[in-house]
Amino acid sequence: MVAFLYPLIRPFLFSLDPEVAHEIVLFILKYLGAIFSPPPPPEGAPISLMGLSFPNRVGLAAGFDKNGTAIDGLAHLGFGFIEVGTVTPRPQAGNPKPRLFRLPQARALINRMGFNNAGVRSLVAQAARRRWSGILGVNIGKNADTPIERAVDDYRIALLSTWAIADYIALNISSPNTTHLRTLQHGEHLEKLLAELSLLAEQLTQTTGKRVPLVVKIAPDLDEESLTHIATTLTAYPISAVIATNTTLSRTGVAHLPLAHQTGGLSGAPLMAVSTRIVEQLSSLLQGRLPIIAAGGILTAEDAVAKIRAGASLVQLYTGLIYRGPRLVQEVIKATAAECLPRSQRSQAM
């Protein structure tokens, strides 16, 4: 129903400021979730990963529902998992507006939102009220005014606060819109962060009796040496998966477009190839020791299949939803299910 309506309302949404359009969509989803009962478990190819049972391979990427206000409505789109956040310990306004730009010719977005969010306490209250019982990931980050040397403190607070409501916690160390955040992907910064947080997670598992897998989200703008270091470090600590990737600082393929000069992270179709290349490289470095969750430029079912073929176990969508609407979720669920079936059963499923 919503999938059918989206092509009709998209021209109206695209006539508005992108952030206003997003707020309207979130508002509709919030009320949809309040009115209708939670949907039954969605269809697809189930998979067990990180000790969790995913009903299908398709999730919502972080940043769409930063405060967890529309979880029940989003569940109606058929997602196998929903990642909320990025949330920071304290509420913060984010960067000045305008901070979100459409590049429709390239089916892309540029954003420099800067972790605008209502803070961890608000997210926890929203998530605790949800009626949907599917897999909820919580993506955490640091406040903009916390010095980078004290970043670990913010991740500790956010981890402690969201432990009870999260099925997995994603450490966002790859947003390009928080000064120096991406340095946490490198060298001793990464080792210190993972050492401290995995120790805290271990203590929380003991004291609460609940295990919450930790996941790390990385950038696409990484050279081979950095990626090799990340893969080695992730496997040296009890990290359960890696999300590849966040948005890119590159403007390859879009530099000629009117809004390409805007500061921020580029997402959507132009990110597909570079992000999939990272999945491929990670897959060869990790050799199956950690599952990969692929995000970046999935605009079609074929894009999602390419991510699975590159080595991903799960995929996440964001910009594709803006351009294609809820129909994309159904298409990707179907295509990834067919791709993940044993070869002998594939033709029957198509």
Query: Which residues participate in catalysis according to the annotation?
Result: 175
Residue among 205 and 226 whose Cβ is closer to ligand FMN: 226
132 SS3 class = coil
Sign of the torsion formed by the C-alpha atoms of 218, 58, 122 and 241: negative
Q: Which residues bind ligand FMN (CB under 6 A)?
A: 61-63, 66, 86, 100, 109, 111, 113, 115, 139, 172, 175, 217, 246-247, 267-268, 271, 295-298, 317-320
Q: Are residues 44 and 56 in contact, defined by beta-carbon separation less than 8 angstroms?
A: yes
Residue among 134 and 270 whose Cβ is closer to ligand FMN: 270
Residue among 134 and 141 whose Cβ is closer to ligand FMN: 141
Q: Are residues 247 and 265 in contact, defined by beta-carbon separation less than 8 angstroms?
A: yes
Cα separation, 229 vs 273, whole angstroms = 22
CB of 171 to ligand FMN, least distance (A): 9
Question: b vs e for 328-347, b when ≥16 Cβ sit within 10 Å of the residue's Cβ?
Answer: bbbbbbbbbbbbbeeeeeee
Question: b vs e for 183-212, b when ≥16 Cβ sit within 10 Å of the residue's Cβ?
Answer: ebbbeebbeebbeebeebbeebeeeeeeeb
CB of 69 to ligand FMN, least distance (A): 14
CB of 57 to ligand FMN, least distance (A): 14
Per the omega criterion (within 30 degrees of 0), is the bond before 245 cis? yes
CB of 278 to ligand FMN, least distance (A): 11
Q: Are residues 226 and 186 in contact, defined by beta-carbon separation less than 8 angstroms?
A: yes
DSSP codes of every residue in 149-212:
GGHHHHHHHHHHHHTTT-SEEEEE---TTSTTGGGGGSHHHHHHHHHHHHHHHHHHHHHHS---
Residue among 75 and 294 whose Cβ is closer to ligand FMN: 294
CB of 98 to ligand FMN, least distance (A): 12
CB of 66 to ligand FMN, least distance (A): 6
Cα separation, 314 vs 57, whole angstroms = 5
For 350, other C-beta atoms within 10 Å of its C-beta total: 8
CB of 272 to ligand FMN, least distance (A): 7
Residue among 75 and 332 whose Cβ is closer to ligand FMN: 332
Of 80, 161, 175, 79, the residue nearest 126 (C-alpha):
161
Which residue sits closest to ligand FMN, CB atoms considered? 63
Cα separation, 189 vs 152, whole angstroms = 9
Residue among 96 and 350 whose Cβ is closer to ligand FMN: 96
Residue among 148 and 341 whose Cβ is closer to ligand FMN: 148
